[in-house]
Amino acid sequence: MSSPVEVRQTIEDGVAAWEREHFEEALESFRSVLAEHPNFADIHNKAGLCLAMMSEPEEALKHFDHALELNEGYAEAHLNRGIILNELGRHDEAKVALRRAGEIDTRDSTRYPSALGNELADGLSRLGVLYMRADEPRKAVEHYREALDIRPRFQDIRTRYAGALMEVGEVEQARTELETVLEARPFMADARVMLGVALQRLGEKESAIEAWKRCAVDAPEDMRPRAYLASVGVELDEAWMPPDSTD
């Protein structure tokens, strides 16, 4: 299992390859991340874009669909999906997807057009990542907050924001942000693992254990929740299910 730093570096490598128009190299990086973190909606979107540029629209569509299964409010994925559907001759479906992208984009922010707003938010988020790597979390917090002002529904950015908040000691605010993320994307492993850490720091050990147990069930390929459970002397009961699960 790659460390969070290694995952961020792989994503950055993929983005850099994309910007050089080395789409196969970029796709390889994004697929490497998805092999360990299949619930990253933004990486599915990026992989889909690579495949679209490689003239593989059907495969691209699968990634855009998966991104929207994880985050229905992901305007850019709706937009990209609409473009691909149009290319495939599925014009009625394309109109629905493009209309949905416009609805979400207007709801998020009317200050910037879709593409520009997304680029601004992503750029500010990348600055946040760099400041975290430079061990300047307060500056990272500022950039993540600016990014969320533009695109409040980008839950991957909100998760990074929560991580930066924890680094500067604002653990209660981090908890609030992570709960917001999980309300929108309940299967986002990074956010639930981090919520467990926040709850532990706030002295809510039992709630932390419950968060890690749920994450271990939702994302069995992710070893982090089991490691955290082991750190507090708890083994996951394979019969355990989340309190809100149903038969």
Q: What is the pLDDT of residue 246?
A: 41
Please give the average per-residue pLDDT across 178-199, as a whole number. 91
* Average pLDDT along the chain: 87
pLDDT given for residue 57 in this prediction:
93
Q: For residues 218 and 64, which has the higher predicted lDDT (pLDDT)?
A: 64
Judge contact between 191 and 178, C-beta under 8 A.
yes
Q: Cα separation of 197 and 205, whole Å?
A: 9
Rounded average pLDDT over 197-216: 94
Which residue bears the tokens 């790659």?
2
Express each pLDDT in 94-152 by its tens digit: 889 888 887 776 555 556 666 677 778 888 888 898 899 999 999 999 999 998 988 88
Output 46 or 240, whichever has higher pLDDT: 46
Range of weakest confidence among 20-34, 62-76, 96-110, 216-230: 96-110
Q: Give the pLDDT band of residue 168 (cuts 50, 70, 90).
A: very high
Contacts (Cβ under 8 Å, ≥6 apart) of 65: 81
Q: Give the 3-state secondary structure of residue 185.
A: coil
CB 48 within 8 A of CB 65: no
Measured CA distances, 128 to 68, 136, 197, 234 (Å): 25, 9, 21, 34
- Please say whether the beta carbons of 36 and 219 come within 8 A: no
Report the pLDDT value the prediction gives residue 240, as an integer from 0 to 100.
Answer: 54
Whether residue 155 contacts residue 188, with contact meaning beta carbons closer than 8 Å, is answered with yes
Residue 1 DSSP symbol: -
**Long-range Cβ pairs for the range 194-198 (8 Å, 24+):** 194/159, 194/162, 194/163, 194/166, 196/225, 196/228, 197/166, 197/228, 198/162, 198/166, 198/171, 198/174
135: left (phi over 0), alpha (psi -120 to 50) or beta: left
Length of the chain, in residues: 247
**Complete domains list, the chain, with CATH:** 4-108 (1.25.40.10), 115-231 (1.25.40.10)
Q: What is the pLDDT of residues 23-56, one digit of tens each?
A: 999 999 999 999 989 989 999 999 999 999 999 9
Residue 184: HSE in the Cβ half-sphere, 13 Å Cα cutoff: 19
| 131 against 76, higher pLDDT | 131
Which phi-psi region, left, alpha or beta, contains residue 198 (left: φ > 0; alpha: ψ -120 to 50)? alpha
Residue 105: the pLDDT is 63
* pTM for the model: 0.59
Residue 222 pLDDT greater than 50, yes or no: yes
Percent of the chain with pLDDT over 90: 49
